[in-house]
Amino acid sequence: MYLEKSDIILLLGIDLNEKNELVFFADTPVFNTDAKKKDHHIKVTAKSLREARYRFDSLSPGSIVKGKIQTILIGKKLLQNRAVLPYLDVILRDPKDDLNSRVIFIDGPVEDIFNANMSDKGRLSAVIRNMIDTSFYSGIITNPNLQQYVAQQLDTRFTPMVPAMKVIHNEPKITGMALLSHKGFYVTTLNLSESPLALSIQAFFTDKIPLSMNITSDKIHAKKELKRISIQIKKIKRKVDTRIVNGHYQFDVQLTLYADLVERMFFLDAEKHADLQNKIIEEQLDKEYNNLIRKIQQKKIDPIGFGVYARAFKYDQWKKIKGEWFDQYAKAKINIRTKLILINTGVSH
Amino acid sequence: MQKKTPLSFGQYIFIIYKTQIGIGVLTLPHDLFQISGIDGWIAVIFGWIISLIIGFFIVNTLEKHPDETLYDLLPKYFGKWLGKGILFCWIIYTLYAASYVFMYTVYLIKVWVLPNTSPILLGILFIVPIFQITVRGLPMISRYAELTFLVTIWMYPIILITAHYGMWFNLLPIVKDGWMPIFKSTPTTALSFLGFELIYLLYPHLKNKKQAYKGMFIANTMTAIVLLLVTILSYVRLSEAELSYAIWPTLDLIKLIRFPFLERLEIIFISAYIIILFMTIIPYLYMALSGTSQLIQRSSLKKYALVGILFLWIILLYSPIIGFQPIIYFKKWFANLGLIFAFAFPVLLWLYSKVFLALRKGQVKG
């Protein structure tokens, strides 16, 4: 088969339109030299992904190839109303399809992404994938692939976390991590300063994480807008103590962060008060971690995966509460204590 | 008596090991998970111990008659007619094993690599090397086993790449629901250890008979390591929901490996896996053939029997036997037959030989 005659779907979008009908979007690169545009956007309404494929075929100048999907975009409206997993079955079932495609939540209609300004960036499908991959390498977000997303969605111990994107003034932008419930509905979004925090407690996926925070401590005397510190975490040691107190779970998390100090916007005589610097950062981190935990506990979702510890270390209790971990999780007590070890402070103290 | 072709220690190990590694590895994590959940990997260790014990019985039985295969022993122990009856059963078993693995290979390639190609075409392509190797007998098979080992040595370490994003806490707590489910799932591992019954045929050919135990131990251990690797990594990397619906968890695991220059590693993996699967088909086929020539006391017919069997396979491919349901259904048969012939039979034969030899000794003395 000639490459010019095949339409390779690199980007797939699923959403609901205003009439609550399922809409599928596809972006395929155009290799034909006569064509003026570099990629071909297709939009169809269909009841399922397989049906959508036939519709794609009828709109495509070549034959549709779906084994190379790089990214799957899921619209906010769809995730507010339905779980997306059944619609992906056709991809999971076919051994020719790639499980390494990334899953992205779109905060708004998926159509916006397809209408976004790409004249100064390149091919839409490559741009979106690159944006997600580079943010992942810098440690701000995770980028679960399709298999990981499905695994998280079906797991009874934690809930999925997928990167979130939004189109602002016609420009696509990564806005953080979208948190979904166990049933697959959209719950809330962690912004770009919260998602690295969440990732640093989560033990499973990544280790190199940048954190940037406002110091609220009174021990520092500086203008409010200058009380900022940024660190780059190199390595994290997590010690989670799982206990049962009064019939509820209690997690004592001891995080040891090995980090570089990369930015401090106020003056502090760190040579004399080395402890003070560590202490204010630790205090600040404790505060932010606890805010984050409270936020997700209220929503009864567990993207960090405390359920993994709950089952691994207190299986008897886990058996008792079987099936309703997320209700139990909301009642659990979670203490996070941070210890910071600065490895490198650059060329100044 | 046939002319014996000498078998080196390495060849002896590789034939057993590569016969054991076959279709079982691809599905084992799923099969174990169905019965004993995440603790399934412990059953592999029990399976390994049981295989070692059975292997010991096999070698111990043959030790008394260092120049005779199982097929020579049967008429001696059981008399002409009963011996021939058991021999016939063995031929049926080994032929069934070879045929089943052949059909499985065609099905596997059809599902994963060439969905639009006719199974008959695949079958015709496959029988050519199978014929070429089997017809030349044991010397060729032993060399093929060595080649298989060397060519496919990269295949299992590559799975370790998937451990990177694994969740090791999945395995905890170990033995969470008691030992019963683990014991129950131990027979499931039998299918993956099948292959050591070839010792019945290989032992007389082995150059240094003292190394028979050691070789059996090494082959079984290598198999157990591969099975453990695959099972633990599947449990660490795949979720429980996936394990319960995925038919081939091992291949799903490989599907997750992605290099910047290579997106679909599983295609290469499965294609190379044909070599390993052939190494399961060929020894069983050879065992069936040498049984046949023993049964009718004419080794010149071997070649025609082989051609006949291979043609029969191609004809079988016309029937709807290459499908999901038959493949699953016949696998149970294969596993059950394996339990009888490779696990129960050696123990019974060992006991029988002890009694038989003791009685004969008594007769001579008396």
Residues of chain B in contact with residue A102, where contact means CB-CB under 8 angstroms, are none
User: Distance between CA B195 and CA B209 in Å, rounded?
Assistant: 19
User: Distance between CA B349 and CA B359 in Å, rounded?
Assistant: 15
Q: What are the residue boundaries of the structural domains of chain A, listed by start?
A: 1-192, 198-349
pTM, two decimals, is 0.86
pLDDT recorded at residue A302: 87
Q: Which residues contact A156 (CB under 8 A, 6 or more apart)?
A: A182, A307, A323, A325, B240
Report DSSP letters for A140-177, one per residue: SS---BHHHHHHHHH-SS---EEEEEEEETTEEEEEEE
A313 touches chain B (CB under 8 A): yes
Residue of A nearest to B173 (CA): A312
pLDDT recorded at residue B366: 44
- Identify the residue whose tokens are 């259904």: B329
Query: Which of B112, B240, B242 is opposite residue A95, by nearest beta carbon?
Result: B112
Environment class of B30 (CB within 10 Å of its CB; exposed 0-12, middle 13-18, buried 19+):
buried
Angstroms from A109 CA to nearest CA on chain B: 30
pLDDT recorded at residue A206: 63
B222 touches chain A (CB under 8 A): no
Angstroms from B2 CA to nearest CA on chain A: 47
A204 touches chain B (CB under 8 A): yes
User: Distance between CA B343 and CA B335 in Å, rounded?
Assistant: 11
pLDDT recorded at residue A29: 87
User: Distance between CA A105 and CA A174 in Å, rounded?
Assistant: 10
* Boundaries of domain holding B92: 9-365
Asked if pLDDT for residue B235 goes beyond 60, the answer is yes
Residue of B nearest to A95 (CA): B112
| Total count of domains within chain B | 1
Asked if pLDDT for residue B364 goes beyond 60, the answer is no
Backbone angles phi, psi at B206, to 5 degrees: -65, 135
- For residue A151, give both structure tokens: 């695994």
Residues of chain B in contact with residue A85, where contact means CB-CB under 8 angstroms, are none
- Mutation pick from B167, B174, B258 vs chain A, by most beta carbons of A within 10 Å, is B167
A205 touches chain B (CB under 8 A): yes
Angstroms from A152 CA to nearest CA on chain B: 8
User: Distance between CA A14 and CA A106 in Å, rounded?
Assistant: 10
With respect to residue B3, please indicate whether it lies within any of the assigned structural domains: no
ipTM over 0.90: no
Q: Encode pLDDT of A240-280 as tens digits.
A: 888 888 888 888 989 888 888 888 888 877 778 778 888 88
- For residue B97, give both structure tokens: 């094993």
The CATH number of whichever domain residue B142 belongs to comes to 1.20.1740.10
Backbone angles phi, psi at A136, to 5 degrees: -65, -45
pLDDT recorded at residue B46: 92
Backbone angles phi, psi at B143, to 5 degrees: -70, -40
CATH class of the domain whose range is A198-349: alpha beta
- For residue A144, give both structure tokens: 């679960």
Residues of chain B in contact with residue A308, where contact means CB-CB under 8 angstroms, are 167, 169-170
With respect to residue B1, please indicate whether it lies within any of the assigned structural domains: no
Helix (H, G, I), strand (E, B) or coil at A142: coil
A323 touches chain B (CB under 8 A): no
A167 touches chain B (CB under 8 A): no
Q: Encode pLDDT of A135-167 as tens digits.
A: 888 888 888 888 888 888 888 888 899 999 999
B260 touches chain A (CB under 8 A): no
